């Protein structure tokens, strides 16, 4: 494969690997004019020698790094979600076929692209990913310890609050039937749980500090149901929000709108699509549930809307998801309009 980029290349697709990258260049008519297999270092040299052109790649680990490098060399970078590339893959799947499919996908006028993330966004996103893993680890410790205790006829209520309240007493009691080996093992699990809690508290403080120093995150916390955690998650995963045409598109990206399977002129709406970022969607849904339970409905228009939905007999879970959709649209407005805050308005009598 050639490592020379012809001047006739109008766009190129790059299939990203850990150490080897496949590049396919297409001319203005969509005909392949070069195919290259390059190492990471050779790829940067290849892009530096090439004339500024459109460079496409799939959204995957490493795409943001390559996007920054290619943009610094003067190229127009486009990151395509993998599911939008798949229809352009011809016949059998190989790396070089994938690269050619990417080059074809980025030429479509209606194609959707992902916004490259900045290094600050990636750092904040990593904090949230680590926190998410630790929360899962904490839940796993609780569930495993409860299962061990059931084998000895001891029960603990579901949830961290019961675990924290009951576990010290169970470990301290000498007459509950636990063997020495099991007591030692549960003691180790209890210490592991406490260490995870300390780590989560440290991450929470770091996230709150970042939120307090960021103007956008501070304005997002003015929205009911959005605190420091959700605000920083929105800025980390959605960035400026300008890649979305409207708040509805942002909510759709989060999977908070109904899926649709319509044909023959008959519309058939399904449940929410659950596309996009499940972590951010979960945070918004939890925030909406908090609003449904605790929002002062005499001082906020959202509270009035919740009351109307409840009076119409709408199930609470549907209200929660619909409210999460509203919160996402409000968040998009704050993201894209500098200096905008959510203004709580009193209920109209």
Q: Tell me which residue of 63, 55, 48 sits closest to 11, measured CA to CA.
A: 55
Contact criterion met (CB below 8 Å) for 206 and 311: no
Percent of the chain with pLDDT over 70: 96
Predicted confidence (pLDDT) per residue in 102-119, tens digit: 999 999 999 999 889 999
pTM of the model: 0.86
Question: Mapped to the 3 state alphabet, what secondary structure does 236-253 carry?
Answer: HHHCCCCCCCCHHHHHHH
pLDDT of residue 66: 94
Q: What would the mean pLDDT of 34-60 be, rounded to a whole number? A: 92
- Please compute the mean of the pLDDT values over residues 21-40 and round it to a whole number: 90
| Residue whose tokens read 């460079």 | 55
The pLDDT-based confidence of 315 (bands split at 50, 70, 90) is very high
Residues 191-229: pLDDT tens digits?
999 999 999 999 999 999 999 999 999 999 999 999 999
**Cα dist from 211 to 151, 201, 311, 335, whole Å:** 45, 15, 37, 14
Cα torsion 100, 104, 106, 110: sign: negative
Q: How far is CA 252 from CA 67, 81, 110, 148, 233, in A?
A: 25, 15, 17, 42, 17
pLDDT at 268: 84
pLDDT of residue 251: 93
pLDDT tier at 2, thresholds 50, 70, 90: low
Task: Please write the tens of the pLDDT for every residue from 261-312.
Answer: 888 888 888 888 888 889 999 999 999 999 999 988 888 888 889 999 999 9
What's the alpha-carbon Rg for the chain, to the nearest Å?
Answer: 26
pLDDT on residue 273:
83
Query: Count of CB atoms within 10 A of residue 203's CB?
Result: 17
For residue 209, the model assigns a pLDDT of 95
Mean pLDDT of 109-136: 93
3-state SS class at 314 = coil
φ, ψ (nearest 5 deg) of residue 118:
-80, 170
What pLDDT score does 8 carry? 79
**pLDDT of residue 348 exceeding 80:** no
What pLDDT is attached to residue 227?
A: 94
The widest CA-to-CA distance across the chain, in whole angstroms, is 83
Beta bridge partners of 77: 55
Report pLDDT for 263. Answer: 83
- Which tokens hold the place of 212? 């307090």
What's the whole-number average pLDDT of the chain?
90
Does the pLDDT at position 325 exceed 70? yes
Give tens-digit pLDDT for 175-194: 888 999 999 999 999 999 99
Distance CA 101, CA 90 (A): 8
- Cα 210 to its chain centre, rounded Å, is 18
Does the pLDDT at position 1 exceed 70? no
Task: Among 3.30.70.3270, 3.40.30.10, 3.40.50.300, 3.30.420.140, name the CATH number for the domain at 11-105.
Answer: 3.30.420.140
End-to-end CA distance of the chain, in Å?
74
pLDDT tens string 333-342: 999 998 888 8
- pLDDT for 78: 94
Digit-coded pLDDT (tens) for 56-90:
999 999 999 999 999 999 999 999 999 999 999 98
Closest CA to 32 of 79, 95, 100: 100
pLDDT for residue 328 = 95
DSSP string, 69-94: HHHHTT-EEEEE-HHHHGGG--SS--
């Amino acid at each position: 494969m050639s490592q020379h980029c012809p001047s006739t290349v109008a766009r190129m697709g790059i299939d990203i690997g850990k150490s080897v990258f496949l590049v396919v260049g297409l001319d203005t008519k969509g005909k392949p004019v070069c195919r290259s297999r390059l190492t990471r270092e050779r790829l940067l040299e290849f892009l530096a020698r090439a004339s500024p052109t459109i460079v496409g790649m799939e959204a995957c680990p490493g795409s943001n790094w390559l996007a920054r490098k290619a943009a610094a060399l003067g190229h127009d970078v486009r990151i395509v979600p993998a599911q939008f590339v798949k229809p352009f893959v011809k016949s059998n799947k190989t790396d070089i076929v994938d690269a050619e499919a990417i080059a074809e996908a980025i030429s479509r006028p209606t194609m959707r692209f992902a916004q490259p993330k900045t290094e600050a966004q990636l750092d904040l996103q990593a904090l949230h990913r680590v926190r998410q893993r630790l929360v899962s680890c904490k839940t796993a410790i609780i569930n495993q310890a409860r299962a061990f205790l059931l084998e000895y006829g001891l029960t603990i209520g579901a949830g961290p609050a019961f675990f924290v309240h009951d576990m010290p007493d169970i470990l301290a009691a000498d007459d509950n039937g636990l063997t020495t080996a099991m007591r030692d093992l549960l003691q180790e699990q209890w210490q592991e749980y406490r260490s995870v809690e300390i780590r989560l508290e440290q991450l929470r403080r770091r996230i709150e500090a970042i939120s307090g120093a960021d103007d956008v995150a501070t304005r997002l916390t003015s929205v009911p149901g959005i605190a420091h955690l959700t605000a920083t998650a929105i800025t980390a995963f959605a960035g400026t929000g300008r890649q979305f045409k409207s708040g509805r598109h942002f909510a759709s990206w989060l999977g908070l709108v109904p899926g649709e399977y319509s044909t023959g002129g008959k519309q058939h709406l399904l449940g929410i699509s659950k596309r996009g970022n499940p972590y951010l969607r979960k945070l918004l849904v939890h925030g909406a549930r908090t609003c449904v339970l605790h929002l002062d409905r005499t001082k906020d228009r959202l509270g009035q809307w919740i009351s109307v939905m409840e009076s119409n007999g709408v199930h609470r879970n549907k209200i929660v998801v619909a409210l999460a959709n509203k919160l996402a649209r409000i968040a998009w407005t704050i993201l894209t309009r500098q200096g905008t805050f959510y203004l709580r308005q009193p209920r109209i009598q």
